[in-house]
Amino acid sequence: MLNVGAIRETVNMIREENLDIRTVTMGISLYDCQSDDINRLADKIYDKITTSAERLYAVSRELEKRYGIPIINSRVSVTPISYMAGGLRSVDDCVLIAKTLDRAADTLGINFIGGYSAMVQKGEIDSARLLIDSIPEALSETEKVCSSVNVASTKAGINMDAVRRMGEIVKETSYLTRDRASIGCAKLVVFANVPEDNPFMAGAFHGVGEPERVINVGVSGPGVVAAAIKRAGDCDLTKIAETIKKTAFKITRVGQLVAAEAAEMLGVPFGIVDLSLAPTPAVGDSVARILEEIGLERCGAHGTTAALAMLNDAVKKGGVMASSHVGGLSGAFIPVSEDAGMIEAAAAGSLTLEKLEAMTSVCSVGLDMIAIPGDTPAEVISGIIADEMAIGVVNNKTTAVRLIPAYGHSVGDELSFGGLLGTAPVMAVNMYSPEVFVKRGGRIPAPIQSLRN
Amino acid sequence: MKAVITVVGHDSIGIIAGISAECASYGVNINEITQSVLSDYFVMIMIVDITDMKCDFSEFVDAMERHGRGRGLEIHVMHENIFNSMHEI
């Protein structure tokens, strides 16, 4: 039964508090595109993607109109390209496939396509090695392709050879896209325990156990949560957690509605709703502001990790009942450049890399969209990746690293990417060298927590 | 099936008449109106029945938005499902 109070609340969330559907992502399997001829492989991939998602953009627009809620992005994720092993015999072959994905994204009118990916937590198949080697060139020669590499898992441990290599790959990518604020690095994520149904970029891909096609939806809504906490006023943390839970329930219900309808309209199964609170650089759409609303002078102050842990847990508790299937990353995101409050906190010196690392142990996803000095050595980047992977592996959770070495910039400078990717203040890094540790290579064994049978 | 029409803008003579006529021309029946004027600011929420609507939902959304634009009003139409799913368990 419709009542005016409920209508006002919903309209207010959308118009004043930036509630939106962040992404409707179609996952598409490419297994049936396998071919040992690279041109044939590229053609089949292009055809499969463009026919499968032909109506994706139009359906998003129609749902946006029906419910009056913005659907910010329509995206596609595909089977990790490294599994197209038969056709990939050189770095050039891989780059050709990246360009094919980019072309397919252009045809569909979507803004990102994910799945230029490899899973190497225990070791590399030949095509994964080629794909990783090709990442800098692939990301510099495409606009919409997103890449991810899973280098660790609780079951397999940490592949330190891959961690070392990814430090170098991040640096190379930064250099090759130096004329565009090193933006290639904003489309490259290094993961531990990567989820296979994540709708959010840059880490989205279509996992091996997924159906032929699937619809996954990511909601947003930090502004709605911050406003609800503000309205709750002077109360204790039990009440704050309760307020967050109720708000998360409402946000997620909208995601569930859109996901179910998009799936039906496209004739594709509904996969999951991702419960993540995803900020944007827009004023009033910030996760940092939620933490400040809870009672911190600035994000990064002592108490931030505890407040974030409570926020993350309450979002999940509220969201899980609102959706029939929850998956993906599901937690609060803390991408520095995409969050107005985080940008301010980092620029003010309140938020440091070390504090962000602590925060990632209690929320999704990891060290995300952080600009570091351009002269940071590759081994130091590998050291940062190794630390973050260890947090994920030991705590049975997803962690990720998306760092942007800002070529030609140092601490205090600012990198501007534009759009949803925002602006990143270049943050200080501990430059003492982990070189000997990183160069030892090998694998850090899976922790005792992996033996659960 | 129902929809919710929200209207915000400066108050003037004939706002409700204009919107009602537009609804009628599309076969949309008005069930309920809540309306107020606060310091010359007109705010209205209409709950309408769209079961016998003569066009696509998105066409009606566009028509109402167009109607508002010509008169300095912000008019949005939203399908009832979004309210039901958000506020009912």
The pLDDT of residue A85 is above 90:
no
B45 vs A65: CB contact, 8 Å cut-off?
no
- Chains A–B, number of C-beta pairs less than 8 Å apart: 58
Q: Return the CATH fold of A25-192.
A: Anaerobic Ribonucleotide-triphosphate Reductase Large Chain (3.20.70)
The pLDDT of residue A225 is above 90:
yes
A10 vs B82: CB contact, 8 Å cut-off?
yes
Whether the complex's predicted ipTM is more than 0.85 is answered with yes
A25-192 against A223-450: fold identical: yes
pLDDT band at A421 (very low <50, low <70, confident <90, very high): confident
Q: What φ, ψ does residue A112 adopt, rounded to 5°?
A: -145, 150
- Quick one: pLDDT at residue B39? 81
Q: Is the dihedral of CA B63, B69, B71, B75 positive or negative?
A: positive
Does an H or E element contain A8, and which? helix A4-15
The pLDDT of residue B88 is above 90:
no
Average pLDDT over residues A82-91: 93
Q: Is the dihedral of CA A90, A148, A84, A57 positive or negative?
A: negative
Got the DSSP string for A384-434?
HHHHHHHHHHHTTS-EEEEEEEETT--TT-EEE--GGG-EEEPPP---S--
Q: A167: helix, coil or strand?
A: helix
Residues A9/A10/A12/A13 CA torsion (nearest 10 deg): 110
The pLDDT of residue A207 is above 90:
yes
Average pLDDT over residues B73-89: 93
* CA–CA distance, A401 with A382 (Å, rounded to integer): 10
Tell me which chain B residues have a C-beta less than 8 angstroms from the C-beta of A323: none
CATH code where residue B79 lies = 3.30.70.260
Q: Please state the domain count of chain B.
A: 1
* CA–CA distance, A289 with A166 (Å, rounded to integer): 33
* CA–CA distance, A361 with A309 (Å, rounded to integer): 9
Q: Tell whether B38 lies on the interface with A, counting CB pairs under 8 A.
A: no
Q: What count of residues does chain A have?
A: 453
Contact (CB, 8 A) for A181 and A415 = yes
pLDDT band at A344 (very low <50, low <70, confident <90, very high): very high
Domain that holds residue B47: 2-87
B84 vs A2: CB contact, 8 Å cut-off?
yes
Q: Tell whether A10 lies on the interface with B, counting CB pairs under 8 A.
A: yes
Average pLDDT over residues A388-414: 96
Q: Tell whether B77 lies on the interface with A, counting CB pairs under 8 A.
A: yes
A111: Cα within 13 Å, side-chain hemisphere = 14
pLDDT band at A283 (very low <50, low <70, confident <90, very high): confident
State the architecture of A223-450 in CATH terms: Alpha-Beta Barrel (3.20)
Give Cα separations from A128 to A33, A125, A145, A162, A304 (angstroms): 17, 5, 17, 11, 38
Summarised one tens digit per residue, pLDDT across range A87-144 is 899 999 999 999 999 999 999 999 999 999 999 999 999 999 999 999 999 999 999 9
B85 vs A8: CB contact, 8 Å cut-off?
no
- Residue-range domain boundaries for chain A: 25-192, 223-450
Tell me which chain B residues have a C-beta less than 8 angstroms from the C-beta of A9: 87
The pLDDT of residue A1 is above 80:
no
Tell me which chain B residues have a C-beta less than 8 angstroms from the C-beta of A65: 57-58, 61-62
